Amino acid sequence: MLTNIVHRQTAEEEYVVPNSVSTESLAAAALDVERIGWAVAVANKAAAAATTGVVAPNADQVSIDVAPLLGAPARSDQVLSAQAMLF
């Protein structure tokens, strides 16, 4: 249902601004945003294991020491994604 918003500048003046957004379209948009959020959450969870659990490319000490550093950005992304889902 479309409604109009009436604004009064003075007691003698009045103008009408049409409200071009229906409550149905707002509800549909909110549902779309919720669905997008859930899709992002599912994709984030699916990517978590592959991106945070980086294994050492070789058995030498440097590779073993560097491997956790390679997964650090992905772990940070997981934390940020979890915080974003709370928003």
The pLDDT value given to residue 41: 87
50 SS3 class: helix
pLDDT of residue 11: 60
Phi, psi of 69 (to 5 degrees): -70, -35
Q: Read off φ and ψ for residue 14, nearest 5 degrees.
A: -155, 140
pLDDT at 39: 92
- Residue ranges for the chain with pLDDT beneath 50: none
- The domain limits of the chain are 23-85
The pLDDT value given to residue 44: 85
| Phi and psi torsions of 11, nearest 5° | -65, -30
Q: Which residues of 14-46 are buried (b: 16+ CB within 10 A; e: fewer)?
A: eeeeeeeeeeeeeeeeeeeeeeeeeeeeeebee
Q: Please give the model's pTM, rounded to 2 decimal places.
A: 0.52
